[in-house]
Structures are given as structure tokens and as C-alpha cells.
Amino acid sequence: MEYRKLLVAGFMLICLAIPVLSDDDVEIEVEDEEEVEEFEGRRDQMPPPEIEWENIKAVTKCRKRLTDDDTAGIHFVGKLASDGSIFYDSREDNVKDEWQSFPMGVGESIKGLELGILGMCKDEIRKVVVEPEMVKNGRHLFDPNDGKIPRGQKLIFEVELMQMGPNYIKGLPNMFKVYDTDKDNLLSHGEIKEYLIKDGTFGPDGPLVSKLAKEVIDKDDRDKDGSLTWKEFSGPKHDEL
């Protein structure tokens, strides 16, 4: 039984590329300040001109800035630009007080928010204004019921970067397309199971393979219809189908 648990954990980490963040992931050993400056100059990315943003709390000593090659862990407060009302507070609305983590640069987060936090340092707080046309992708990361983050409105996010780490998803194949063998833009238990059997890592067809395929579906199946849409699927995928 313990062996099976290890296999399940390994599959979820490797096939679905769940990011694991730790201080060890982001520590950069340097010998002097000149090396720090050279590193930042080489890797620094900032929001594009069309994104409105400002720092609320800056960090003076920053060893690494967030890029689209990283995984971001953030706390944030989301407000309507029209009246300033709060529609989501990750600390208040998340009973476990856990920050939200997502890989950068692969369409897993709200587009305007992701672009707006580029170049942030750990512990920095930034205000990001997201225009209505940029409120797309990744709403489910912060709002599993798709009810709190509004559509068609200008939004303001106050974001604190809690952590950053390696992006395990960027560069991986679009697993949604790999799994979707019948090209109907839905992933079924049978398609996931077929992939696992062909892969062979977990042995031939049997109870373990069937169980793993079911766990992949159940993990992301928010509407409980037994299949996954591109939006529901949390594994490696690209901005488009």
C-alpha cells in the first residue's frame, strides 16, 4: 500500500508537474554585490507598457526577480476598479491562509495579473491594474466556483510575492493534446488510462492504472461530469487548445 502511495505521488508530481516551492529553490549563492547586479541585469523582466502597475512596498536587497521561467506564490487582494469593493482576499477567503501558486508564462494564471507581477522580488507588494480584456485564463486558480472574480470589469490587484521557484511546466509538451486522442477537446478516464498503459511506468492495465487515471480526472473535475475541459485541466498545457 505504501508503494502505491509513492507511485501516486510520483505521478502527480511528474505528469501533472505540480510546483513545489521552497527557500532552497530560490537561494542564489553570490560572492559580492557586483555578481548580484550582473545576475539581475541578465534575468530581469518587467511588465510590458500596456500594463499599469506601481510598487506599494519595494525591496531594497533583491537577489532574484520573478520571470516567466519561474513559479510564483502570491497572496493578493482583488478589487473592482469601479468602486474599490473587494471581491477576493486570499488571506481572508482561504481558510488555510495558503498563498496561490502557479507557473508563469504558460497561460495558467489571469493574463494581466501574470504580466503585472513580472520583475517582482520576494516580499515585495505591487498594485496591478487589469483591463477587462486581460481578465482571462486561470480564474479557477483563485476562484474554483468561477463566481467571485468578475468578467468584463476592470480589476485592481494588490499582490505580495511570497515565494518563487522553478517552473516545471514550461517547456513540457501540451499534455492536454497528448491525452486527447479523439480530439474532442475533453479528457476522459479512458484516454488518461490509455496513455498510462502505453507509457508503461505503472505496469500493464490493472487496478492501479485505473485508479491513477480516475485520480487525474477527479482532481480537476470541478463540475463533476467525469471529464476534463481544457480550462479544468491543471497539467502542462499551452494558451490554446
Instruction: Indicate whether 239 belongs to any domain.
Output: no
Quick one: pLDDT at residue 130?
A: 93
Quick one: pLDDT at residue 83?
A: 92
Tell me: the pLDDT tens digits for 115-155?
999 999 999 999 999 998 888 766 555 554 455 666 778 99
Average pLDDT, the chain: 76
Residues 29 and 82 in one domain: yes
| C-alpha dist (Å) from residue 50 to 46, 66, 81, 117 | 11, 19, 17, 13
Residues 49 and 156 in one domain: yes
pLDDT tier for residue 201 given thresholds of 50, 70 and 90: confident
Residues 112 and 160 in one domain: yes
Quick one: pLDDT at residue 171?
A: 66
Quick one: pLDDT at residue 199?
A: 82
CB 4 within 8 A of CB 208: yes
Query: What's the mean pLDDT in 214-229?
Result: 90
Residues 47 and 125 in one domain: yes
Instruction: Indicate whether 37 belongs to any domain.
Output: yes
CA-wise closest residue to 213 among 8, 20, 18: 8
Q: How far apart are CA 231 and CA 229, in angstroms?
A: 5
Look up the domain containing 224 and give its range: 2-17+172-228
CA-wise closest residue to 74 among 13, 121, 140: 121
Quick one: pLDDT at residue 155?
A: 92
Q: How far apart are CA 234 and CA 103, in angstroms?
A: 11
Q: How far apart are CA 128 and CA 158, in angstroms?
A: 6
Quick one: pLDDT at residue 160?
A: 96
60: left (phi over 0), alpha (psi -120 to 50) or beta: alpha
Instruction: Indicate whether 218 belongs to any domain.
Output: yes
Query: What's the mean pLDDT in 197-218?
Result: 86
Domain closes at, from 123, 140, 166: 166
Least confident of 62-71, 162-171, 173-182: 162-171
Domain closes at, from 117, 140, 166: 166
Instruction: Indicate whether 124 belongs to any domain.
Output: yes
Residues 186 and 149 in one domain: no
Instruction: Indicate whether 94 belongs to any domain.
Output: yes
Tell me: the pLDDT tens digits for 63-106?
899 998 898 999 999 899 999 998 888 888 765 557 888 888 87
Q: How far apart are CA 46 and CA 116, in angstroms?
A: 8
Question: Can you state the angle between helices 2-14 and 207-220, rounded to 10 degrees?
Answer: 50
